[in-house]
Amino acid sequence: MKFSLFIEAKNLEETKKFLDDFHKFADTQGCSFSVINIEKYWKIDEMYSVSLEAEEFTQTNLKTMLNHIASKWEEYPDELLASKTMDDCEIYISNLYMIVVYF
């Protein structure tokens, strides 16, 4: 399972700080990740795109974690999406603009 995070950050240092905090959060939910890629997101200034690979989780842990990330998720055949731009969607993690979970 892969995750794409779109993070509001001015630089790579802020992005890495966010990822440290996100890893701590995921650990409390019984999930762990490895970072595949970090890059500046070309469409939006002060935004970074981060790709993660899930290493360890259970379906229950994943569902709990997702409920702690956002209030609403759009479901597609092979992915879940939560974004600040979605109607009635609140992202609970500071500086997280959008997250996509790929199955």
Does this model's pTM top 0.85? Answer: yes
pLDDT at 55: 86
Average pLDDT, the chain: 96
The answer to whether the CB of 50 falls within 8 A of the CB of 15 is: yes
For the chain, domains (ranges, CATH) are: 2-102 (3.30.70)
Element (H, E) at 19: helix 12-28
Per-residue pLDDT of the chain (103 residues; tens, 9 = 90+): 999 999 999 999 999 999 999 999 999 998 899 999 999 999 999 999 999 999 878 888 889 999 999 999 999 999 999 999 999 999 999 999 999 999 8
pLDDT at 67: 96
The token pair at 53 is 């690979």
The answer to whether the CB of 101 falls within 8 A of the CB of 66 is: yes
In sequence order, the 6+-apart residues with CB closer than 8 A to the CB of 34 are 52, 53, 55
pLDDT at 56: 76
Query: Residue 26 and residue 23: Cα distance in Å, rounded?
Result: 5
CA atoms within 13 A on the CB side of 78: 3
Is residue 43 packed enough to be buried (19+ CB in 10 Å), middle (13-18) or exposed (0-12)? exposed
Fill in the DSSP letter of residue 70: B
